[in-house]
Structure 1
Amino acid sequence: MSNKIYFNTPSRFSLKRSLVNVSTRLHHTLARKHAIKTAKKLLLTPARLKVKNLEPKGLQRSIVNSPQGKLTTYKLGTGPTWLITHGWSGSTSQFYPLMEHIAQQGFTALAFDYAGHGESEGQFGHLPAFVDALDVIADSCDEIVGIVAHSMGSAAVLESKHQKFQSVPLLLVAPVLNYLENLMQAVHRSGFSMKLFNAVIAEVEQEYQYPLQRINPQQHLLDRQAFTMIVHDPEDKIANFSISEEMASQSSWVELVSTASYGHSRIMKSQEVMESFNQLTQK
């Protein structure tokens, strides 16, 4: 959903939030179809992240067709493939430093931009579309030996039932593991009409045959029997660090690496992520 809502976490009364609630409820009551169309654009349109990292030399772009439009893929290096997936309003460019590191270790780093993100086509984004895109990318490539995922991309990887993902190691960076709870709380805090929000979700559920209540990344992670490393910052204001701690304490397959002062996004090019990748390749 829109950054203005997804990343908005007010803790006290807000006149603006109250006005949002009144206006969206009234809009839904007086013009239901138009309200849903407008809400879909607001809630499901990600921000196109501007490239901040230098593009690695030798980076190869390709196109993969998907139901959401043409998805841009990026490949660097040679050897066994590690798939990389960004999060909401993210892009592959955030992973350029890690892709260089992966290539230097003798692997192929394969990343892609979700629909509505980076250089890919499309306007809308949401978890069912993320899962669908992941499966399309997996079908388009040969064997995958590991996956790196950031934020909401982590939830998508855990939700996917694709056979190529089930027994490979995962490196989850600042993962949003309580996706459904996080989503509902964010919408509630924004003041947006929950009735209108539910109407938008109903359309997505029907289109993808993907009931919202089915989403449960935490349980899927606990059910896995392949090694997972989580790199997370306790100061992360987007993804709940305590849930990463809980997952590591509940599963012998999950190891948590705590960082300091990186927050939610800068952590992707931290030394801890690079070292965690090295550890996974040696297990």
Structure 2
Amino acid sequence: MSSKIYFQKSGKVNVRRQLVNLSTRLHHRLAPKHAKKVAMKVLLTPERNKRPTPVPEGLVRQPIMTSEGMIMTYSLGEGPTWVLGHGWSGSATQFFPLMVHIAAAGFKALAFDNPAHGESEGQYGHLPGFVRALDGVLDAQSSIAGVIAHSMGGAMVLESQHASLVGKPVLLVAPVLNYTDNLISAVEHSGYSMKLFHEVVDDIAQAYQYPLSHIDPAAKLAQWQGKVVIVHDRQDRFAAFSESELAAHNHHVTLIATEGLGHGRILQSDQLRQGFDLLLA
């Protein structure tokens, strides 16, 4: 359900949005506890990616226990480890083609399903949970060579304070660098009650000690000590290309701009593999 909110943007005022706004505000007024329970399900439940994906030969699946429950990992190849993190309503399977390329270059590629995604445990998904899951996966590694992340996964990586990430190269694919503004804008455009939204967000912030106001991937990127490459499509409808362009202009960031690949197909692109090779150069 939530993907229809976060991935369906339109500047037009429509009847459906007005009905959503009226119904959710009325529900909240008449039955606040039940309304918040429903809001959690609507706002925090991603779509689990069930698209059939060819599995690379030699792929190893291994569950890892974290503070967010069991997180499923998928590894390919041997050598220094590159960790790969997906975005909202995605899964590790999106990285399989890139993992083949990474393994062929003499590295171990380790992707994982975030909480409530793919084959990992969890009922709800949100950025604080993503960060804790990533930290749990990193805790299980002896060392890492670098990290790759797509969409909301980019915010996850930049927000993490894990020691193993310090100074490491990072490849960001269609990152949502203006995460908080983008999130609020998406919910506003859906018509969903903003009061309900903020109540849900405040509950997560209290549980994780992670206020929404503290989330700022763009600022964290400015402080990143390692090499950074961003691969982003100019026509991306879900993550603002202008934010990546600004980061490349203001910081030590190499931007590879694509055309016509959008937010998802970019994960299968030659430019993405070129971005990884550039980090190795």
TM-score of the alignment, normalized to the shorter chain, above 0.5: yes
Counterpart of 1:227, as a letter, is: K
| TM-score between the two structures when normalised by the length of structure 2 | 0.98
* Mapped partners of 2:73, 2:277: distance in 1: 23
Residue 275 in 1 paired to residue 274 in 2?
Answer: yes
Residue 213 in 1 paired to residue 213 in 2?
Answer: yes
* Mapped partners of 2:276, 2:205: distance in 1: 35
Q: Quick check: 1:51–1:94 contact (8 Å CA) kept in 2?
A: no
Match of 1:144, SS?
coil
Counterpart of 1:266, as a letter, is: R
Counterpart of 2:5, as a letter, is: I
Q: Deviations over 1:6-36 (max 9, x none)?
A: 0121211111100100111111111111111
1:7 aligns to what? Answer: 7
Counterpart of 1:116, as a letter, is: A
Counterpart of 1:28, as a letter, is: H
* Mapped partners of 2:179, 2:159: distance in 1: 11
Counterpart of 1:167, as a letter, is: G
Runs of 4+ in 1 over 6 A off after TM superposition: none
1:52 is displaced (CA, Å) by: 4.1
Within-5 A mapping of 1:168-183: 168-183=168-183
* Mapped partners of 1:80, 1:185: distance in 2: 39
Q: Deviations over 1:171-215 (max 9, x none)?
A: 000001000000000010000000011111111011111000000
Within-5 A mapping of 1:92-171: 92-171=92-171
1:53 is displaced (CA, Å) by: 2.9
* Mapped partners of 1:107, 1:218: distance in 2: 29
* Mapped partners of 2:230, 2:8: distance in 1: 25
Q: Quick check: 1:52–1:94 contact (8 Å CA) kept in 2?
A: no
* Mapped partners of 1:258, 1:50: distance in 2: 29
Q: Which moved more, 1:50-59 or 1:256-265?
A: 50-59
Q: Quick check: 2:188–2:194 contact (8 Å CA) kept in 1?
A: yes
1:192 aligns to what? Answer: 192
Counterpart of 1:225, as a letter, is: Q
Residue 254 in 1 paired to residue 253 in 2?
Answer: yes
Q: Quick check: 1:150–1:173 contact (8 Å CA) kept in 2?
A: yes
Counterpart of 1:234, as a letter, is: R
Match of 2:84, SS?
strand
Match of 2:94, SS?
helix
2:262 aligns to what? Answer: 263
Q: Quick check: 1:82–1:110 contact (8 Å CA) kept in 2?
A: yes
1:122 is displaced (CA, Å) by: 1.1
* Mapped partners of 2:209, 2:13: distance in 1: 37
| TM-score between the two structures when normalised by the length of structure 1 | 0.98
Q: Which moved more, 1:49-58 or 1:231-240?
A: 49-58
1:67 is displaced (CA, Å) by: 2.6
Query: What are structure 1's unaligned runs of at least 5 residues?
Result: none
Counterpart of 1:237, as a letter, is: R
Counterpart of 1:35, as a letter, is: A
Size of the alignment, in residue pairs?
281
Q: CA RMSD in A?
A: 0.9
Q: Quick check: 2:227–2:253 contact (8 Å CA) kept in 1?
A: yes
Identical positions, percent? 52
2:37 aligns to what? Answer: 37
Match of 2:256, SS?
strand
Q: Quick check: 1:92–1:112 contact (8 Å CA) kept in 2?
A: yes
Q: Quick check: 1:98–1:274 contact (8 Å CA) kept in 2?
A: yes
Counterpart of 1:76, as a letter, is: L
1:68 is displaced (CA, Å) by: 2.4
Query: What are structure 2's unaligned runs of at least 5 residues?
Result: none
Match of 2:145, SS?
strand
Q: Deviations over 1:139-160 (max 9, x none)?
A: 0111111001000000010000
* Mapped partners of 1:148, 1:21: distance in 2: 37
